Chains A and B, each alone.
Chain A
């Protein structure tokens, strides 16, 4: 199979890679770009552990073909903190004990940030429905929802 050469940006940095046409973005992020913060929980788009931003769109990277990202900007969990300070959502997840095993946490954080960019003042129900594409088996969601609502309030200032 001829491999495609793709140029894109990841967390603001230029990157390029060769991929087969059936290779997923998740596979490239984890195996070629070696950013293992994005997780594979199901590879069928049902668990949200592989959530990333593609330009301004929240996607399951396991359902996105790597060849689709030519010229696009990919944002993963590794780019969420600015290098000095954690993002407000990251801080609130820690303060509220909104994570246990943590395997779903990167996906939740990426999805929650996408929510707050679109809707800075969500209701509890809006948070729950927006995050319904992300599975967490440890927390029962209670503290995750609390953390997102608290982060939203702090980000609104």
Chain B
């Protein structure tokens, strides 16, 4: 890796402290403006007609009565969008099939899920827009549907896309990838992806013990409290302005430009405060519709989803059917591992199959591995990323089997993992060789943690599980200006997805300059102010944003030194920067008083003009993240209800810039995992309609469901970040499902291989036993 910014160990003054976040006061006073808080003068209100059917041909659409209603200004359907050929196009750094994306934004030919948009209306009020939806007449021919991933893979299953033939790809470590010719018969299996390392058949034949199990998980929603919202305004000369709550306004711009045939420069996307995303706000839903409606009437159009729409039509995580087989020698060393992961992608291909398959066994150093993944279309909303997309589904199976192996071998479950843990130099089955990582440290600290040794009482159990996420860098930009009083304005293009990256970036810049972090104001720029930024996802905000912020700061500091050298009339290499001051490198340079940043800034005009720095970079060197969690549960044998008694997270952060926000990521991610384990699931009726599109029946954890979540931040620096930062947001959601299932086994003697562990399911198993 040539293009990396190396870690330097140094004494830190700002990093590691806990200043109050710059967006905090706005958020506790109600000032912060989220998607639905934006209103533009003269705006209309848009509303979407959604399919009531899981799968149906659209025979005709009649919008004339809706359009004739007083107050209705525009109606659009799929016909108003240009059709796109089926091809994968890199847009905004994502590989997107725009034939699918245009159909997900607005159905054409047929609807593929309950909630699929068919038409949209703009009217002078929300109530008129909603009333007008009732006047749209659509003639459907209902088709058979398929919801379950295993059912969808069977020959003869209702077919979503008649021209979809399985893409078969095999990747063997050390060999070129092989693409096999697709089968003649179309199927719902869009892709079959295989990773191979070594020789599993031979290795399994030598194993002392083999455990093979099958697991099922349900789709769960990201559950951000802020519904999707967008306001678009198009002028008569084709300029477009969009306010939206997303995780990546540059990607929203790219997708809208391509879908609607608009030049990128004509679209300006202004990010609002984001009310939660967790991966679910990386793609367009309302934005192209609002632009299309506004393009007709040349007035701003505001669109906001209801919670019902969020559940039915924005991406949940996939459901997964997973088979795991692991073989060990008599000491517990894993010698072979095999998995099959069938993931439901929803109405269009594109589940997080790569992430699920490459994270599956990667926590362990195993010579012989095979992982087969299937990406399967079903009559559900197109899945979206959800925190460590795909990884929890695979980890639930693998970490459950690890627990069973430990039990059978009479080895402590943490010791089994310590014996097999990946470490620096371990080559994964997908090719990467790990640099310095902190997995072993998390396992050893878990073993020594006081919570691992608390005595358990009747009906109580303890479980452990681990998680891995590779983390990413990607295109990131920043622009830094030194104000004339020596304070700093940093503009960034990565959305602060709530983890507090604005604060962390301010702290890194302050550390570089040697000033207080409240002297650095961080603002998220709109798409017209900076170069392209990838979505804030994959745990890149503080890592990649930090690198470009530090590089911008270093350029500005270099300029400050140039100005000092000019002021003192000495060569540049005789000026050093320390603690917010330019100083002579030694007493030999001359008896100059150190020049504070504020003086250099005040005199900038006289010494050459304003001082600034900027950085644009495809950031490399993301440090792999690992964590271990310990969960204690108590099972109520009369109701089947599971209470989380203690939940402990030990995870490598590389370096915690702001430890409170690292703890917050650990705790928040773990509680999402608790929800996934215990209650959350999409429930469909026989008619293919979602039965629980609301927070009453789709039950996310509430405060009384969880205890305090104990955190232990391990810091093994990422060698490729100036302060050692690793992404930390994804890993915490990975271990809870298996850790809880393992704890429930420990309490009850019953192994649960399907989620969620809701009270009726647990009670039925206890009664049967």
Contacts and interface: CB of A to CB of B under 8 A. Distances in A.
A126 B306 CA distance: 31
Interface in A102-157: 102-106, 109, 124-125, 127-129, 131-146
B660 A41 contact: no
Nearest to A27: B126
Contact of B498 (A46, A93, A102, A146): A102
Interface in A43-72: 43-44, 46-47, 49
Contact of A97 (B21, B34, B225): B21
B36 interface: yes
Nearest to A41: B225
B302 to A, nearest CB: 11
A39 B226 contact: yes
Interface stretch (B22-30, B355-363, B509-517): B22-30
Contacts of A138: 276, 498, 664, 668
A135 B671 contact: no
Interface string A13-46: 0000000100000000010000111111111101
B27 A99 contact: yes
B634 to A, nearest CB: 15
A44 B24 contact: no
A144 B703 CA distance: 9
B107 interface: no
A80 B263 CA distance: 46
A82 to B, nearest CB: 11
Contacts, number: 180
Interface in B662-694: 663-664, 667-672, 694
B204 to A, nearest CB: 40
B706 interface: yes
A58 to B, nearest CB: 15
Contact of A145 (B223, B499, B696, B708): B708
B700 A41 contact: no
Given A102-B27, A137-B225, A143 B667 contact: yes
B659 to A, nearest CB: 9
Contact of A46 (B224, B275, B696, B708): B696
Contacts of A36: 30, 33, 36-37
B98 interface: no
B764 interface: no
Contacts of A93: 24, 28
A140 B671 contact: yes
Interface string B682-724: 0000000000001110001111111011000000000000000
B271 interface: no
B28 A44 contact: no
Contact of A41 (B30, B227, B667): B227
Given A94-B25, A135-B700, A140 B30 contact: no
Interface string B123-163: 00001000000000000000000000000000000000000
A2 to B, nearest CB: 15
A128 B25 contact: no
A141 B32 CA distance: 21
B703 A137 contact: no
B364 interface: no
Contact of B668 (A42, A139, A145): A139
Interface residues of A, number: 57
B29 A102 contact: no
Interface residues of B, number: 58
A94 B667 contact: no
A137 B660 contact: no
Given A132-B702, A132-B703, A81 B29 contact: yes
A62 B419 CA distance: 55
A28 to B, nearest CB: 13
A80 B498 contact: no
B307 interface: yes
B500 interface: yes
A101 B18 CA distance: 17
Contact of B225 (A78, A132, A135): A135
Contacts of B497: 101
B307 A43 contact: yes
Contacts of B307: 41-44, 46-47
A77 interface: yes
B30 A77 contact: yes
A76 interface: yes
B206 interface: no
Contact of A140 (B273, B670, B696): B670
A143 B226 contact: no
A91 to B, nearest CB: 8
Interface in B282-322: 304, 306-307
B20 interface: yes
A151 B37 CA distance: 29
A130 B742 CA distance: 31
B702 A102 contact: no
Contacts of B701: 140-141
A47 B225 contact: yes
Given A37-B29, A77-B29, A97-B661, A103 B667 contact: no
B396 interface: no
Contacts of A96: 660
A97 B28 contact: no
Contacts of A141: 667, 671, 701-703, 706
A73 B706 CA distance: 34
Interface string B92-130: 000000000000000000000000000000000001000
A49 B225 CA distance: 8
Given A100-B500, A102-B275, A39 B34 contact: yes
Contacts of A146: 708
B278 interface: yes
Contacts of B270: none
Contacts of A77: 28-30
Contacts of A41: 225-227, 307, 695
A64 B27 CA distance: 24
Contacts of B708: 124, 142, 145-146
B703 A145 contact: yes
A125 to B, nearest CB: 8
A128 B37 CA distance: 29
Nearest to A44: B694
B328 interface: no
B27 A143 contact: no
Contacts of A49: 225
A75 to B, nearest CB: 12
Interface in B3-46: 18, 20-21, 23-34, 36-37
A133 B34 CA distance: 22
A128 B23 CA distance: 26
Given A41-B226, A140-B706, A103 B21 contact: no
Nearest to B503: A97
A127 B275 contact: no
A106 B307 CA distance: 19
A100 B225 CA distance: 12
A102 B200 CA distance: 49
Contacts of A20: 127
A101 B276 contact: yes
A106 B703 contact: no
A140 B667 contact: yes
27 contacts: A37-B31, A41-B225, A41-B307, A44-B695, A46-B694, A76-B30, A77-B28, A86-B28, A90-B28, A94-B21, A99-B28, A101-B276, A102-B27, A102-B273, A103-B34, A103-B225, A105-B27, A131-B704, A134-B702, A135-B700, A137-B223, A137-B225, A139-B664, A140-B701, A141-B671, A142-B709, A143-B664
Given A43-B306, A100-B668, A137-B224, 16 more contacts: A37-B30, A40-B36, A40-B304, A41-B226, A42-B694, A77-B29, A86-B29, A94-B28, A100-B661, A124-B708, A128-B704, A129-B703, A139-B667, A140-B664, A140-B701, A141-B701
10 A-B pairs closest in CB distance: A37-B30, A102-B27, A103-B275, A140-B671, A101-B498, A140-B667, A46-B695, A77-B30, A97-B660, A100-B498
